[in-house]
Structure 1
């Protein structure tokens, strides 16, 4: 690794630590960085323990897992589709997972303030995976051409499916009770409200294992970036590997959506910035993208719950305020 890249990595890690500690400091009960560190080492008082260990830390860890999962999913989709604008939120995978989770929540709860039970949380990743895979199956079937998947067609099919699913969510909302509507609205906007250690325990092992699998296959992604013909010439079974990577991308997006709702653009911005900072080699890009998107989700969530306190807006809206202009910039750049 070059000296410049080592410096960039060090700065990204430092920024991550600053944002992470900041997420634990600020809220209705503010603390200093020293108080946070002392609490993490078991030397905080009762109020500090509740604020940090019970409320803010599981939420921050959930934000990190969400950002990492979406960014790695975005890295995969951009390489597999050969399109720098691809990410799980844009092509409909997140929307399918969000629709399934919203349906589950509406069945299991009757009030916005009702805590989700262990059984519901246990079913959330399963429901999200089912919704994401149904959405992905529709996209895959629409993108097939003579037995193989056309990357450009997949993007167009994904945009169409994403629009259709969002229309279904809106239609479903019209028939919801007020409590269920509020609960569903939080998921659609992408919110980390109510995150707990139970959420972390359910999703962390799956997300970590999936990211490790993708990282292990980073060289295959590098070869696939060169184009299908050259990749086949180098011995890569392109169609087989493409299917494997698409399944990994869908699972990562589903896990993230199951705990954070439909957060768009986190899987777009992280991989792009990482490619600019450390280059297109996935051995470096994947960890950098995971870290950058984690910073993005953490920062957005911290702003979302403090900017208009005591009101809290969905973190997904904060990310979209950054993501939409960045997406337009990339579109203009592609022309």
Structure 2
């Protein structure tokens, strides 16, 4: 909509939303720079700048370009994907607690990847570009199962039933993954244990390239459906009255959500709560219109995972705390807070 057709209040709100997006982007850049300086081998800000412009020595170039930068970029992309996935789920289900981790979609993706890895003698044998596809299949099957178990012919999808079904399915999948660990080699077991905790393990440019196509395709598609998500939030009767094909749009959006979550889990493991926290914070900052909510949630998700990974790498050097554990420390209390508000 052109600014000439907006009221003064709407123009003010739009300007405020752009300022928020700019501030979040700046925070990501600042955290990005801090993360490049964080690690067992310290690099000063000047060394980082010189290395970025090709003036660093061989060791500095190896540390920055082959280890830190891929991991930092991957953390941002994973956070963005999980946040958008959560925003979609909350939008199509009108459920304040919807999140790919809580609903078990992440667990389904994890099970598919773990099944594949368990049949290889080494984790290096698993083709990197196949992992997102396998994760998509696993998360898709899980989403269909949860949707089927939650659906009632005369009632539709109950938000609380959806949450409880997702938690139950996730618990069953987690049990299956524990059984699978019994047949793993010590090398693969260590990898799976770290991966399940939510570690940005794919710290190479191959993993960035395996995730990037999914985002380049799905993020523009989801953003093009912003108005559809706005209409769905008005309720089914109103949406039908406005000409929306509810079930078809839900299926497409659910497939996009599953694709984003599955691809992210394949390279980052089970990082939960990002899809819960980021959309909620975005809604408080810019309101419920998805034209601003989606990019704000994406930036918040990227910032959250990047900060969690940076803290996890630095707080107990030389050891690392998986980013998923750091996010869970923040996310679990926030989930309980939202659950309390939902009961009220």
Specify if TM > 0.5.
yes
Q: How does 1:21-60 map to 2 (within 5 A)?
A: 21-60=33-72
1:124 to 2:131 alignment: yes
1:139 to 2:146 alignment: yes
Does the 8 Å contact 1:25/1:33 carry over to 2? yes
Q: Find the aligned partners of 1:222 and 1:40 in 2 and give their Cα distance.
A: 42
Alpha-carbon distance, 1:32 to partner: 2.6
For the residue of structure 2 that corresponds to 1:174, the secondary structure is: helix
State the TM-score, normalized to the length of structure 1: 0.93
Indicate the RMSD between aligned Cα atoms, in angstroms: 1.7
- Structure 2 vs 1, CA of residues 325 and 174 (structure 1 numbering), >3 Å: closer, same or farther? same
For the residue of structure 2 that corresponds to 1:108, the secondary structure is: coil
Residue 199 of structure 2 corresponds to: 191
Does the 8 Å contact 1:274/1:288 carry over to 2? yes
State the TM-score, normalized to the length of structure 2: 0.91
Select 2:80's aligned residue among 37, 43, 68. 68
Residue 331 of structure 1 corresponds to: 339
Select 1:102's aligned residue among 98, 107, 114. 114
Residue 18 of structure 2 corresponds to: 6
Select 2:288's aligned residue among 280, 287, 293. 280
Q: Find the aligned partners of 1:85 and 1:4 in 2 and give their Cα distance.
A: 27
Q: Find the aligned partners of 2:17 and 2:215 in 1 and give their Cα distance.
A: 26
Alpha-carbon distance, 1:55 to partner: 0.5
Alpha-carbon distance, 1:37 to partner: 3.1
Alpha-carbon distance, 1:58 to partner: 0.6
Select 2:265's aligned residue among 257, 267, 271. 257
Q: Count residues with an aligned counterpart.
A: 330
Alpha-carbon distance, 1:149 to partner: 4.8
Moved more, 266-275 or 121-130: 121-130
Residue 267 of structure 1 corresponds to: 275
Q: Find the aligned partners of 1:145 and 1:106 in 2 and give their Cα distance.
A: 37
Q: Find the aligned partners of 1:194 and 1:71 in 2 and give their Cα distance.
A: 19
- Structure 2 vs 1, CA of residues 268 and 121 (structure 1 numbering), >3 Å: closer, same or farther? same
Q: Find the aligned partners of 1:259 and 1:327 in 2 and give their Cα distance.
A: 24
Alpha-carbon distance, 1:235 to partner: 0.6
Segments of 4+ moved more than 6 angstroms: none
Alpha-carbon distance, 1:158 to partner: 1.4
Q: How does 1:115-264 map to 2 (within 5 A)?
A: 116-117=124-125, 120-146=127-153, 149-152=156-159, 153-264=161-272
Q: Find the aligned partners of 1:213 and 1:41 in 2 and give their Cα distance.
A: 35
Q: Find the aligned partners of 1:94 and 1:263 in 2 and give their Cα distance.
A: 8
Question: What 5-or-longer segments of structure 2 have no aligned partner?
Answer: 1-10
Residue 86 of structure 1 corresponds to: 98
Alpha-carbon distance, 1:73 to partner: 0.4
Does the 8 Å contact 2:86/2:276 carry over to 1? yes
Alpha-carbon distance, 1:148 to partner: 8.6
Q: Find the aligned partners of 2:94 and 2:331 in 1 and give their Cα distance.
A: 20
Question: What 5-or-longer segments of structure 1 have no aligned partner?
Answer: none
Alpha-carbon distance, 1:285 to partner: 0.8
Does the 8 Å contact 1:128/1:255 carry over to 2? yes
Q: Find the aligned partners of 1:236 and 1:164 in 2 and give their Cα distance.
A: 36
Does the 8 Å contact 1:106/1:184 carry over to 2? no
